[in-house]
């Protein structure tokens, strides 16, 4: 059982069913088959599609179940309307922890790691982590899928590959958003030591690791 109170923020990604950013569509391959009495499960993320989900007009909601976060005045400076993950949400989190206000992001918004679609970009690291989690947990995903009766066939007779259908499912991935201000050219001197107490994890001794839950919401809206 997930304890949502352990995360500073819960970020929700809209993975709209029946669109090119649905959970089904962010996989290159998403099938299973019974081969020689062994289940072969193929789950491979399409990094380009997942990248589009983060960079495009798909929107991100932010909330928190942590009392010290929501009771802070600073929490109200976070934009509660939909925003993109890259460019705004992560920048707001950083600005909140460092400066005590979500909109105080001018000093860091030009960092190319937030905007360039490169192998080392922040969002690419999230994509890689999501893919690794899915690949390492694919048998658990299959068992959950079967136990929830999302496949209505005979699981002991699957001679040809069957596609997973992930519409109307929610996926949650815990991450730790770590950053710091350390000048290696000045003998490791911390450019900024401590940030304000804005609830949850505090920026201390030049660094911070913020626990965040990213939730992919693929529920059809009636």
Distance CA 218, CA 205 (A): 39
- The residue ranges of DSSP E strands in the chain, in sequence order, are 9-14, 27-35, 38-45, 60-63, 162-163, 169-180, 182-183, 189-190, 207-218
pLDDT band (50, 70, 90) for residue 222: very low
Write the pLDDT tens digit of every residue in 62-115.
899 999 999 999 999 998 777 777 667 888 888 899 889 988 877 666 655 555
- When computed from its CA atoms, the radius of gyration of the chain, rounded to whole angstroms, is 20
Percent of the chain past pLDDT 90, that is, above it, reads 41
Q: Which domain holds residue 34?
A: 4-218
22-31, 41-50, 153-162, 179-188: range with lowest mean pLDDT = 179-188
Of 60, 58, 61, 31, the closest CA to residue 44 belongs to 31
pTM of the entire predicted model: 0.85
Number of domains in the chain: 1
């Amino acid at each position: 059982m997930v304890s949502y109170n352990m995360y500073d923020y819960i970020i929700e990604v809209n993975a709209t069913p029946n669109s090119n950013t649905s959970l089904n569509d962010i996989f290159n391959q998403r099938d299973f088959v019974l081969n020689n009495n062994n289940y072969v499960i193929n789950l491979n993320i399409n990094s380009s599609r997942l990248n589009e989900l983060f960079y495009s007009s798909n929107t991100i909601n932010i909330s928190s179940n942590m009392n010290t976060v929501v009771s802070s005045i600073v929490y109200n400076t976070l934009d509660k309307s939909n925003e993109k993950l890259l460019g705004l949400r992560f920048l707001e989190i950083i600005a909140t922890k460092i400066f005590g206000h979500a909109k105080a992001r001018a000093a860091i918004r030009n960092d190319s790691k937030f905007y360039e679609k490169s192998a080392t970009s922040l969002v690419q690291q999230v994509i890689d982590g999501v893919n690794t989690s899915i690949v390492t947990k694919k048998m658990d995903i299959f068992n959950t899928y079967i136990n929830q009766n999302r496949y209505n066939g005979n699981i002991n007779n699957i001679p040809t590959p069957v596609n997973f259908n992930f519409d109307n499912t929610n996926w949650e991935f815990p991450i730790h958003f770590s950053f710091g201000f350390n000048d290696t050219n000045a003998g490791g001197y911390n450019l900024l030591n401590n940030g304000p107490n804005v609830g949850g994890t505090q920026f201390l001794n030049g660094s911070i690791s913020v626990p965040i839950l990213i939730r992919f919401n693929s529920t059809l809206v009636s």
